[in-house]
Structure 1
């Protein structure tokens, strides 16, 4: 049966109104997340280790005014900004010491966590100081942990965040690939560099899957850091920093502003 022109017109108008309302609701939700209370949780990649300009009161947590959460808050002026991310934090540290500011009023949460649980610092130390075979063995141990144990730990953190901040948009940030391969580069062998990159990919895959399972956005920074890895000639990451060993393999200030911040902006 053919519908009358009037029916077609009314249907088209209703569809247009519905689309407009949906778009308005989405924009309203985005605006709410940008202006309501924002909590930045996680490890050194969120606190800004390696970016310098550390906030004195943050002590060993080394929260930086050049870290992506601080930059985002400065640009968006949320009604409240709680910066609890801390250098060295593992999933258990987030659960025990970083969730206090969260509430039903919280509209936006960011977090990066999981690398320390997987033994990132020990992997890098082993690979810098030991042979290829010893490095690969340590990387494989970390990868086994990421497969078997880390998913449950991430689930615990993500569930706690959702319980304490039921109305918040949650953005989980991943980790960059550390090395540009196929180039002449002093330091680690190509074998070590590839093993570390592959482990980073696996870690990101695990984090992304668990985040999606909880309905959270996953901010994959690997694309943003492409061309800015160690050995690229334009690195946004510290290599071994003997003057400040804790900054080794962490984003420099351009890695926070040019890598993490745009990815967070695209997902907030």
Structure 2
């Protein structure tokens, strides 16, 4: 994902660090992907990859990126092909002005290990995060179809459930990795969730986390989960490994209880893992490599999560004086059951109230405009977001 502004270095993670080198095929290590793999947010960057002139190479390959740590722990020579701003198309297309080959061209029959993180830029997460952080009250990203529909269609395309110009499915990418590097162990690296489930507050915008309302924090987490689910299912279908670093980041999300392992809104690596975050990602990858024989979710079960239909949220909103009554009991799930309903009530002063249950009531002054989002969760964890804005009476 793309970056904007001075980096923040956090204390090192306390996650378990694996020092034992796993048994891997002979050959070098190739690290591919976008800025989450290249190390934006964890400077310094390698010479020639942060050239601030027109057409200068801006891949921003950090010396603290997880790829270097994995190379050190496995004893393998690193071929670092990941590059900031990469889309799936850059696995196939050269970035000529930067003198960067197509990323898959780094692979050959001698490759022994491959890691890759890709798809976030195709989904537009970098742009969306920046725009969500500057949204005024009642203009949440999660309620804007011009934002949500392109994200949802891109995730479907990555999962192979549809097609979108310029987006290569995970299945296509992994099929081509297998062709080019038939002897390699391959690890698909998921994106760590950026926010706590409850949502948090902190940063330059009062009442929000690095500029984002709680409902948008939850929406971004939900779509991150869907992207990771598609990546996991495809990796397992191809017999590859998948690692989800989110567990390693627990408590260290933005506005979490402990020091954040992400750069915030005003940092150079805006909304990217910092050096501590990359240490956690490296540990997650090494744990996966050292436990390749451990029982994993079966491909069919993982694919079932991808195929699961998002629930259809629906609710009524009624005002009687200062009382606001909400009812989402008409929400449905075509292939399962509704497991939970949460409400995000945004008041005119910018404060946000969170309620739970199919029906809920709260107090809102009759002369105050209010925005309400119902988050409907199904029995497989997929979430739908539905918003209504009620004008002042």
Question: What TM-score results when the alignment is normalised by the length of structure 1?
Answer: 0.81
Shift of 1:126: 2.2
> Which of 260, 277, 300 is the matching residue for 1:255?
277
Q: Secondary structure at the match of 2:105?
A: coil
Q: Which has the higher strand share?
A: 2
Match of 1:62 in 2: 60
Q: Secondary structure at the match of 1:108?
A: strand
Instruction: State the distance in 2 between where 1:39 and 1:117 align.
Output: 22
Q: Secondary structure at the match of 1:176?
A: coil
> Which of 105, 113, 119 is the matching residue for 1:108?
113
Q: Secondary structure at the match of 1:64?
A: coil
CA contact (8 A) 2:199 2:218 kept: no
Structure 2 residue 201 is the aligned partner of structure 1 residue 201: no
Shift of 1:146: 3.8
CA contact (8 A) 1:37 1:106 kept: yes
Match of 2:132 in 1: 127
Shift of 1:101: 2.5
Q: Secondary structure at the match of 1:144?
A: helix
Q: Secondary structure at the match of 1:82?
A: strand
Instruction: State the distance in 2 between where 1:38 and 1:91 align.
Output: 20
Structure 2 residue 182 is the aligned partner of structure 1 residue 166: yes
Q: Which has the higher helix share?
A: 1
Match of 1:18 in 2: none
Match of 2:23 in 1: 31
Q: Secondary structure at the match of 1:52?
A: coil
RMSD: 1.9
Matches within 5 A, 1:230-241: 230-232=254-256, 233-241=258-266
Instruction: State the distance in 1 between where 2:248 and 2:33 align.
Output: 20
Unaligned runs of 5+ residues in structure 1 are 1-28
Instruction: State the distance in 1 between where 2:235 and 2:84 align.
Output: 21
CA contact (8 A) 1:143 1:202 kept: no
Structure 2 residue 172 is the aligned partner of structure 1 residue 156: yes
Mean CA deviation greater in 111-120 or 90-99: 90-99
CA contact (8 A) 1:126 1:134 kept: no
Unaligned runs of 5+ residues in structure 2 are 1-20, 51-57, 94-101, 161-167, 203-207, 290-393
* Residues 108-141 of structure 1 deviation map (CA, whole Å, 9 limit, x = unaligned): 0000001011111121122112245441125522
Match of 2:152 in 1: 144
Q: Number of aligned pairs?
A: 234
By relative contact order (CA 8 Å, sep 6+), the higher-ranking structure is 1
Instruction: State the distance in 1 between where 2:107 and 2:68 align.
Output: 17
* Residues 204-251 of structure 1 deviation map (CA, whole Å, 9 limit, x = unaligned): 111111111222111111111111100114110111125x3xx11100
Instruction: State the distance in 1 between where 2:147 and 2:223 align.
Output: 7
Question: What TM-score results when the alignment is normalised by the length of structure 2?
Answer: 0.56
